[in-house]
């Protein structure tokens, strides 16, 4: 995602930008630990606790997404995260004290006590939370300068690949091992999901498109952000030629006219159902149109619909998608 687009795109994507990686509904169950494993786990936990206590109050220099070198706590305790992928932090065991709230996520219950710091971020609300670290998913320097006065603030690319995001956050939040464990489990689950789908009718080289309607009867095709990151990954579906052009331009999404639907539509189509009533009505009108009904994927029944908020880009939403995607695609 180009940085120039990000300043205006943050709220845009919070509302509808989406979706995550697929994976197998039959995720492997971790074997129960034996006596030796239990002792080792206990020792590891004690070591981690002792390390955290030792690191209390210590700081280090961290270079962020947009090049700031920031002195941050080694073991942050009160984190504000302002961006689209709160679930990334939750997957690492970090519950932010402040967030950019979006109702209807798969993790609503986990952030029930987190304060909504608003959009754009409210300096007053942030100050009241007494944070020791602010993670800011935006490249707006004017906003950055204001919130950096509240607490150490680092910018973060929430449109990056999920593995990259988890490693960066793991480093920043003193959760490196947790990040690697999550990535390993996620990659395994994703591989298993694609195997399951290929065993149940998905052919090599099939293409996919992801569409959503935005308020104002605006139709968007998703390319390098959200769900396509999963769909176009290893062993997955392929972008159409027109969507590949969008990807080559380093864009996360692009607005198109309905007349161009057939040029972007793949062998399988994914619809992200929007939140607002007018966008829902626009979606209904699109799906009732002759242009839509004449698409090959529609005629063959290869259209899949997901709630745009639940099917978001963060780690916990991706775990949800890994379960839900095969349920829709396997008939």
CATH no. for residue 293?
A: 3.40.50.1980
Range of the domain at 266: 200-329
Q: Tell me the DSSP string of 127-187.
A: HHT--SEEEE----HHHHHHHTTTS-EEE--TTS-HHHHHHHHHHHTT-HHHHHHHHHHHH
Structure tokens at 274: 């929007």
Contacts from 54-58 at CB under 8 Å and sequence distance 24+?
55/174
In 3-state terms, what secondary structure has residue 41? helix
Per-residue pLDDT, 114: 98
| Total domain count, the chain | 1
pTM comes to 0.82
Q: Is residue 286 a part of any domain in this protein?
A: yes
Q: Is residue 272 a part of any domain in this protein?
A: yes
Q: Is residue 85 a part of any domain in this protein?
A: no
Q: Is residue 309 a part of any domain in this protein?
A: yes
Q: Is residue 79 a part of any domain in this protein?
A: no
Q: Is residue 165 a part of any domain in this protein?
A: no
Q: Is residue 188 a part of any domain in this protein?
A: no
pLDDT tens per residue across all 331 residues of the chain: 444 334 333 333 333 333 222 222 222 322 333 334 444 444 444 444 444 455 678 999 999 999 999 999 999 999 999 999 999 999 999 999 999 999 999 999 999 999 999 999 999 999 999 999 999 999 999 999 999 999 999 999 998 999 999 999 999 999 999 999 999 999 999 999 999 999 999 999 999 999 999 999 999 999 987 899 899 999 999 999 999 999 999 888 999 999 999 999 999 999 999 999 999 999 999 999 999 999 999 999 999 999 999 998 899 999 999 999 999 999 7
> Do 306 and 275 form a contact (C-beta atoms < 8 A)?
no
Our CA angle for 193, 196, 202, nearest 5°, is 105
Count the Cβ atoms, other than its own, within 10 Å of residue 157: 20
> Do 24 and 329 form a contact (C-beta atoms < 8 A)?
no
Q: Is residue 295 a part of any domain in this protein?
A: yes
């Amino acid at each position: 995602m180009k940085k120039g687009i990000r300043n205006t795109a943050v709220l845009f994507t919070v509302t509808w930008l989406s979706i995550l990686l697929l994976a197998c509904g039959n995720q492997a169950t971790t074997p129960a630990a034996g006596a030796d494993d239990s002792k080792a786990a206990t020792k590891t936990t004690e070591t981690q606790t002792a390390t955290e206590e030792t690191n209390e109050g210590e700081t280090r220099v961290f270079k962020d997404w947009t090049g700031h070198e920031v002195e941050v706590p080694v073991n942050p305790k009160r984190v504000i995260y302002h961006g689209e992928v709160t679930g990334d932090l939750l997957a690492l065991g970090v519950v932010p004290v402040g967030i950019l709230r979006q109702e209807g996520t798969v993790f609503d219950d986990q952030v029930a006590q987190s304060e909504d710091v608003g959009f754009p971020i409210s300096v007053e609300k942030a100050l009241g939370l007494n944070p020791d670290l602010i993670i800011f998913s935006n490249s707006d320097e004017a906003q950055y300068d204001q919130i950096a006065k509240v607490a150490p603030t680092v910018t973060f690319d929430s449109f990056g690949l999920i593995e990259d995001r988890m490693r960066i956050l793991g480093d920043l939040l003193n959760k490196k091992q947790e990040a690697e464990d999550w990535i390993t489990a996620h990659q395994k689950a994703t591989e298993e999901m694609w195997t399951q789908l290929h065993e149940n009718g998905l052919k090599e080289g099939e293409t996919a498109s992801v569409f959503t309607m935005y308020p104002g009867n605006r139709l968007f095709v998703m390319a390098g952000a959200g769900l396509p990151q999963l769909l176009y990954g290893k062993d997955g579906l392929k972008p159409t030629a027109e969507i590949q052009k969008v990807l080559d331009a380093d864009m996360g999404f692009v607005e198109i006219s309905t007349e161009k639907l057939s040029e972007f539509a793949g062998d399988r189509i994914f619809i992200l159902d929007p939140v607002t009533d007018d966008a829902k009505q626009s979606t209904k009108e699109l799906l009732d149109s002759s242009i839509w009904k004449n698409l090959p994927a529609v005629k063959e029944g290869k259209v899949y619909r997901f709630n745009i908020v639940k099917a978001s880009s963060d780690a916990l939403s991706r775990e949800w998608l890994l379960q839900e995607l095969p349920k829709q695609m396997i008939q």
